[in-house]
Amino acid sequence: MSATTVLSPAPSRPEVATKRAVIHRMVMPHHTCPYGLKAKDLLERSGYEVEDHHLTTREQTDALKAQHSVATTPQVFIGGERVGGYDDLRRFLGKPVVDPKATSYRPVVALFAMTALMAMAASYAVTGSAFTVRAAEWFIGFSMVVLALLKLQNIESFATMFLNYDLLAKRWVSYSYIYPFAEGLAGVLMVAGALTWLSVPIALFIGTVGAVSVFKAVYIDRRELKCACVGGSSNVPLGFISLTENLMMLAMAVWMALAAFGLSVGTTHAM
């Protein structure tokens, strides 16, 4: 008798359970909730199949809030349980949640990174090389202009924060309003390499007063303050970065003064 080989059927692969989520978000004719869009996108990028419910009227929105005793939308539900809004969803998925009141150096780092790239781009366009003495000069000039721009977006807010630590502004409040214009003017003139007789004294003056003020507030008085360097609404802590801003102005002013007297090497300023 011939032996008959019986092949057992291959084991079936277990089905991967689909992750499902339900979201209720505002999608009205004149308003689509941005946090609802972000929550839906985050769920989809995290591998969830999203059941998307639109709240198209204020009545529907208020009814959902009242039903779940919540104050905001969107509201996300996973596995039949309410997760909450966008920040709650990020916590549920193990994502970091930014504290809007937390101090951070990110705005200043982003600013200096972009002005450095701008300076190198301008240098490359003019000289064919991104790494020149002129690029370093432009970096400081561009940084001063952008810092002044951020302050001028809300000069009242800047002045209020500036008065917390600047020694001259505390004695003469008008200086807190003059400062952004002076910084911007000095920066523009330094970028152009023009009117050195005006830009150098301005940069020397505001840089010196600023450096002394920051040093006293941070390193002598040991005060924990927010810096007004990138505008009055920032959460940048007063400290090394603020001191650096003023020292850069001082360094640039000294460099240009030396160039004006023919004592610096390699500068391309027109005398």
Q: Same domain for 32 and 161?
A: no
Q: Same domain for 175 and 237?
A: yes
Q: Same domain for 44 and 155?
A: no
Spatial separation of the C-alpha atoms in residues 112 and 122, rounded to whole Å: 15
Q: Which residue has the higher pLDDT, 55 or 243?
A: 55
Q: Same domain for 54 and 128?
A: no
* Domain boundary, last residue among 31, 59, 92: 92
Whether 68 is in a domain gets the answer yes
> Where residue 61 sits, what CATH number does that domain have?
3.40.30.10
Q: What is the pTM of this model?
A: 0.74
User: Strand, coil or helix: what is 7?
Assistant: coil
Spatial separation of the C-alpha atoms in residues 184 and 147, rounded to whole Å: 8
- pLDDT class of 4 with cuts at 50, 70, 90: very low
User: Which residues lie across from 23 on neighbouring strands?
Assistant: 52, 76
Distance from the Cα of residue 137 to its chain's centroid: 24
Q: What's the domain count of the chain?
A: 2
In percent, how much of the chain has pLDDT > 90? 53
Q: Same domain for 222 and 145?
A: yes
E strands, the chain, where? Answer: 19-28, 31-32, 48-55, 75-78, 81-84
With 50 as the cut, is the pLDDT of residue 13 above it?
A: no
The reported pLDDT for the residue numbered 131 is: 93
Give per-residue pLDDT as tens, 105-138.
788 888 889 999 999 999 999 999 999 988 988 9
Quote the domain boundaries for residue 55: 19-92
- Rounded to the nearest integer, the mean pLDDT of the chain is 84
Number of H helices, E strands in the chain: 10, 5
Q: Same domain for 40 and 113?
A: no
How far, in Å, are 4, 128, 134, 197, 199 from residue 265 at the CA level? 95, 20, 11, 19, 20
Q: Same domain for 86 and 114?
A: no
Q: Same domain for 88 and 135?
A: no
Average pLDDT over residues 14-31: 82
Q: What angle do CA 184, 187, 190 make, to 5 degrees?
A: 150
Q: Same domain for 122 and 244?
A: yes
Give per-residue pLDDT as tens, 153-173.
999 999 998 998 899 999 999
Cis peptide before 14 (omega within 30 of 0): no
